[in-house]
Amino acid sequence: MELVRALRAGEEAAFSQLVDTFGRSMLRVASLYVRDRAVAEEVVQEVWIGVMRGIDRFEGRASLRTWLFSILVNTAKTRGAREARSVPFAALGDDAVQPAVPEDRFLADGTAWPGHWTNGPAQWGAPLDRLLSRETRDVIAGAIDRLPEMQRRVVSLRDVEGWSSGEVCNVLEISETNQRVLLHRARSRLREAIERSAIEGND
Amino acid sequence: MSEREITCQELVELVTEYLDDSLPPDRRLLFEEHLAFCSACGTYLEQMRLTIRLTGTLREDDLDPIARDSMLAVLRGFAR
């Protein structure tokens, strides 16, 4: 609430604190609704204006962070809907029926051990510090970009922004079960993308 | 009578529920019993944990200074 008081007072330090605490994350979240980077920046600017106009009425029932992101998501949604190619909405998408691991990696029914690995997952040869490099980050960012829309939103909010499953369900208006299915598919795809790059990295 | 054991193919579909701590206790037990004897599934679970950790590093990107300045400019318009 100290930050809220300082914002009401129009203190410069409060503005920097607000931007440095939330700015980067707000831009990323806006990008989940509007793909164009310049438009995402405009969305965030609109949010700052809405926040400053509404700050006197902010009662602190929700946290400042929750309030900010609910304004952000509403603004980004409206903007995204205006620009969206009209894709039919499917909560889970076709990819939801894909298994986490291709079924040919497991022994078939009728064998001695149906459902057990034919070959287990290969060890990732690359050491952790290499996996933590810029290169792996680019691999993951690229793989997230190629995910179906709802998977991209769920995994970005959960695993990039670090939101709880409850927060993600609220904001995306999906059930706990759908959230988990989407997250599971998305993480499985990201694991595959890292695997491809980590194993190539063995040579 | 306990439920039958789970296969590797079933285990890989339960990983997110396991990590979110939302498996029912009996399923959780079967999951952990499976892990105790299956090193391939142990490797898989570790890779999923590492995937989540690596995805989290995308959060560390800095705000581009130009975008930061224009955000501050908008806010300063409200200074009183």
A8-63 pLDDT tens trace:
999 999 999 999 999 999 999 999 999 899 999 999 999 999 999 999 988 888 89
Q: Alpha carbon of B17 to those of A43, A72, A170: distances in Å? A: 34, 29, 19
Tell me whether residues B76 and A162 touch, CB distance under 8 A.
Answer: no
pLDDT band at A64 (very low <50, low <70, confident <90, very high): very high
Alpha-carbon dihedral A123, A126, A130, A132, rounded to 10 degrees: -10
Tell me whether residues B54 and A137 touch, CB distance under 8 A.
Answer: yes
Q: Alpha carbon of B77 to those of A18, A89, B30: distances in Å? A: 15, 39, 60
Mutate to test the interface with B, among A22, A26, A137, A145 (most CBs of B within 10 A): A137
**Contact assessment for residue A184 and residue A92, using Cβ atoms and an 8 Å cutoff:** no
Res A62: pLDDT? 85
* Residue B31 tokens, joined: 């999951």
What average pLDDT does range A164-191 have in this prediction?
95
What average pLDDT does range A96-103 have in this prediction?
83
Q: How large is the ipTM?
A: 0.91
What average pLDDT does range A176-202 have in this prediction?
89
Q: For residue A123, is pLDDT > 50?
A: yes
What 3-state DSSP class applies to A106? strand
Q: Which distant-in-sequence residues (6+ apart) come within 8 Å of A97 by Cβ? A: none
For chains A and B, count residue pairs whose Cβ atoms are closer than 8 Å. 132
**What is the distance in angstroms between the Cα of A118 and the nearest Cα belonging to chain B?**
10
Res A132: pLDDT? 83
Res A83: pLDDT? 72
A60 in B contact zone (CB under 8 Å) = no
Taken in order B69, A78, A25, A124, the sign of the CA dihedral is negative
Q: Which of A101, A121, A180 sits opposite B17 (nearest CB)?
A: A180
Neighbours of B74 (CB within 10 A): 18
Of A53, A55, A140, A177, nearest to B77 by C-alpha is: A53
Give the nearest chain B residue to A104 (CA atoms): B9
Q: In chain A, which among 10-29 make CB contacts under 8 A with chain B?
A: 10-12, 15-16, 18-20, 23-25, 27
